[in-house]
Structure 1
Amino acid sequence: MLQALLIFALQIIYVPVLTLRTIFLVKNQTKAASGVGLLEAAIYIVALGIVFQDLSNLYNIAGYVLGFGVGLFIGGKLETKLAIGYVTYHVNLLDRSDELVNALREAGFGVTVFTGQGINSVRYRLDIVSKRSREQELLEIVESIEPKAFMNSYELRSFKGGYITSTMRKKAKKYKQKQEEKMNSQ
C-alpha cells in the first residue's frame, strides 16, 4: 500500500512536469523543455519500475492511474496559472471605437486598426497582442467598452519586432500603477 501511495505521488509530480515540457516545446523553448524532460524521464522510470515489479498488485496500478488523472488536472491548472507566451486577439466592430483603442493603448496593449468591407457595411478590426498573463485584463477592457464586439484569438509561437518590446512593458507597468492609485483613492 505504501508503494501505491508513492506511485500516486510520483504521478502527481510527473504529469504536471510533462505538461510543462509540452508547453515549452510548443513555445519553441527547447532548452527549457530538455531540462524539464530529464526530470520527467527520471520520475517516469521510477514510478513505472515499481508498477512493473508486480503487475498483479492492483493497488500499484490504481495509484498509477489515479495519480495520472489527478496530475492532468493539476497540470492544466498550472498551465493556466503560468500563462506562458502571447496571444493575438482580433476584435471586430461595426463602428469605429476610438474610446476602445485609446483605453487599450493606455493599458499598454499594442493595437492596430484595420478597415474592411463587410457584407453590407464597413467594419473595423483591431489586432491586439497581449501576454497571456494579461489576457483577462484585455477582455475586461473590451467587454466594458464594446460588449457586442466579435472576438477571436490565436496563440503566438514566435514574433519579431513590432510594439512588443520594452515600450509595452513600461506602459503596462504605468497602467497598473494608475489602477492601484485609483483603487487606493476610493
Structure 2
Amino acid sequence: MKEIILILLLQLVYVPVLTLRTLLLVKGMSTYASVFGFLEALIYVFGLSLVFSGDQSTAAMVVYAVGFGVGILIGSYVENRLAIGFTTFIVNLDNKNEELIARLRQEGFGVTVFEGEGRDSVRYQLEILTKRNREVELFRLIEEYDARAFIISYEPRKFKGGFLLKSLKKQKVKKNAVTPEGSSPTSPHP
C-alpha cells in the first residue's frame, strides 16, 4: 500500500515538473528547463522502477496512470498561476472607443491604435502587448468598455523595443536604485 501511495505522489510531482520543463523550453529559458529536465528524469526513473519492481500489480499501474492524469491538471494550474511570458491582444472595435483607450493606458497597458476598412465600415484595431499575468485584467477591462469587441490573443516569441520594455526597464531601475538608507540616488543625467 505504501508503494502505491508513493507512486501516486511521484506522479503528482513528476507531471507538473514535466509541464514546467516543456513551458520553459518553449519560452527559450533552456537553463531552467535543463534543471527541471534533470528532476523530471530522476522522478520518472524512480517512479517507473517502483511500478515494475516486484509483482507488477495492476493497481500500481492504474495508480501510475491516474497520477499522470491528475498531475496534468496540477501542472496546468501551476502554469496558469505562474503566467510566464507575454501575450499580444488584437482588439477590433466598431468605433474608436477613446474611453477604453485612455483607461487601458492609465492602467499601464501600451496601446497602439490602427484604423482600417472593414466590410461595412471603418473599424478600429488596438494592439496591446502585456505580461501574461495581466491577461484576465486586460480582458475584463475591454469587456467592461466594449462587450462587442472582437479579441484575439497570441503569445509572441520574441520582440524588441517599445513601451512595455521601457516600462519594465524603469521598474527594474527603480528597484535597483534604492540606497541602503531607503532613498533614491540622484542621477547625473536628465
Match of 1:156 in 2: 156
* Residue deviations 1:7-60 (CA, integer Å, cap 9, x gap): 110000000000000110111111110111100000000000111214631222
Amino acid at match of 2:36: V
Moved more, 34-43 or 60-69: 60-69
Q: Per-residue deviation at 1:70?
A: 1.1
When the two chains are superposed, the root-mean-square deviation of aligned CA atoms in Å is 1.5
Structure 2: gaps of 5 or more residues:
172-190
> Aligned-pair distance for 1:169?
7.5
What residue number does 1:176 align with? Answer: none
Secondary structure at the aligned position of 1:67 is classed as helix
How many residue pairs match? The answer is 171
Q: Distance in 2 between matches of 1:74 and 1:27?
A: 20
Q: Which runs of 5+ in 1 are unaligned?
A: 172-186
Deviations 1:144-170 (A, max 9, x none): 111111111111222111111242586
Bigger helix fraction: 1
| Match in the other structure for 2:53 | 53
- Distance apart, 1:112 and its partner CA: 0.5
Structure 1 residues 24-173: aligned runs within 5 Å: 24-54=24-54, 56-167=56-167
Per the alignment, residue 178 of structure 2 pairs with: none
Q: Structure 2 length as normaliser, TM-score?
A: 0.85
State the distance in 1 between where 2:53 and 2:85 align: 41
TM norm structure 1: 0.87
Counterparts of 2:5 and 2:120, CA distance in 1:
64
Give the share of equivalent positions with the same residue, in percent.
Answer: 48
Q: 1:98: how far off?
A: 1.3
Change in Cα spacing, 1:160 to 1:55, as seen in structure 2 (3 Å) is farther
Q: Which has the higher contact order (CA 8 A, sep 6+)?
A: 1
Runs of 4+ in 1 over 2 A off after TM superposition: 168-171
